[in-house]
Structure 1
Amino acid sequence: MLPIRSPLSRSLIAASRPSQATALRFCSCAARRQLSVYRPLVRANIVPVGRNISKPLGIRTYSNKNEEVVEPLKVVTFEEIKKLSDNPDPKRVIVDVREPHELERSGIIPNSINVPFSTAPDAWFLSPDSFEDRFGFDKPSEDTELVFSCKAGIRSNAAARIAMSAGYGNVASYEGSWMDWAKNTGAPTY
């Protein structure tokens, strides 16, 4: 049997008479003992000698009293995107946030603009002139509704939150994004 490293481990083993495999689990390291040893013992009603286990060791609790409440994003469906794609509206713009190499492989939703999220996360904070120089089209005004799309919906949510912090009050996310578009239209996926 391997040597036991601490008095606490010796008392745990003596109190519970575990097998050799269980003893090895208890003796691996201090952090592991703090997080994993006490939970099985509490379930088995075994109290370690000289320890108060009413509050597990190593568990931290956090409070979000000072954090801002994040309002939920508006979510659009395939039917809404399809309607917007077929009948473009200057006050509602579909923004694809995938990278250009991703668009080359699969395609883009018709009548949408491409503002890559990963390489240009600051895009919505740019001046109109800088935005036009960088992307080749006019920056949408802050009263324009921006509907964000990506491959699966994760980057579009992040880009929508950034646009909100840049002053765009009317933003939405296409939840299924390109994967949903491809499934419903037969477009290629990558």
Structure 2
Amino acid sequence: MFSFPTSLTTARNAVRKTNIHSLYSFIVGRRESTNGETDFIKMVDPKRVLKYEDMLQVIHQPEKVIIDVRDPDEVQSTGKIPSSINIPLGDVHESLVTMSHEDFRRQYQREKPSNSDELIFYCQSGRRSSEALHKALQMGYVNSKTYLGSWSDWSSRHSDNNV
């Protein structure tokens, strides 16, 4: 089990020595808390973050799996990014690990991704997509990424949100 170390150097060394995919996808950072103590925080590795410009390309690449982890009522009321499928955050593990290929195809109208496929998660503001990224990496989906700008960024740049 990984426990937070007492210094930033110790934290970085611990991450380098660990072979867990999810720890390599997150960078341990340090910040001073309001009470003067040092807190260690987890930040998404920039190599796993897509920007809006990247997403404009990805929506035309059907081999990549764009997953909206918002609740279905959020998606219905606001719209979605083109070619994305909706798997709420609480259903990510079940859908990607437990669900059969046939059930996945029936529910999401596409093939179930393999561990080597590129999964791209988004939500409303980036928090849930980062959590989904962490879960996916723990499940062995090594090419997973997140669009941190998420729906907030996408919808602010498009007038036709239900595309």
Distance 2:78 2:105 in 1: 25
CA RMSD of aligned residues (A): 2.4
Aligned to 1:123: 95
Aligned to 2:130: 157
Superposed displacement of residue 121, structure 1: 4.1
1:171 aligns to 2:144 (yes or no) = yes
Residue 80 of structure 1 and its aligned partner are, at CA, apart by 0.5
Matched position secondary structure for 1:95: strand
The total of aligned residue pairs comes to 124
Out of 30, 41, 49, which is 1:75 matched to? 49
Give the TM-score of the pair, scaled to structure 2.
0.66
Contact 1:151–1:179 (CA under 8 A) maintained in structure 2: yes
- Give the deviation of 1:185 after TM superposition: 1.4
Which residue of structure 1 lines up, in the alignment, with residue 33 of structure 2?
A: none
Q: Is the 8 A contact 2:119 2:145 kept in 1?
A: yes
Residues 1:105 and 2:81 are matched in the alignment? no
Q: Separation in 2 of the partners of 1:173 and 1:109? A: 13
For residues 102 and 82 of structure 1, the distance between their equivalents in structure 2, rounded to whole angstroms, comes to 22
SS in 2 for 1:94: strand
Separation in structure 1 between the aligned mates of residue 140 and residue 134 of structure 2, nearest angstrom: 10
User: 2:68 corresponds to which residue?
Assistant: 96
Alpha-carbon deviation of 1:184? 1.4
Matched-pair identity in %: 33
Structure 1 residue runs of 5 or longer lacking an equivalent are 1-62
Structure 1: how far apart are the matches of 2:92 and 2:121?
14
Tell me by how many angstroms 1:128 deviates: 2.5
Within 2, Cα distance between the matches of 1:150 and 1:76?
Answer: 13
Q: Using structure 1 for the length normalisation, give the TM-score.
A: 0.57
In structure 2, the residue matched to 1:64 is: 4
Matching residue's letter, 2:152: M
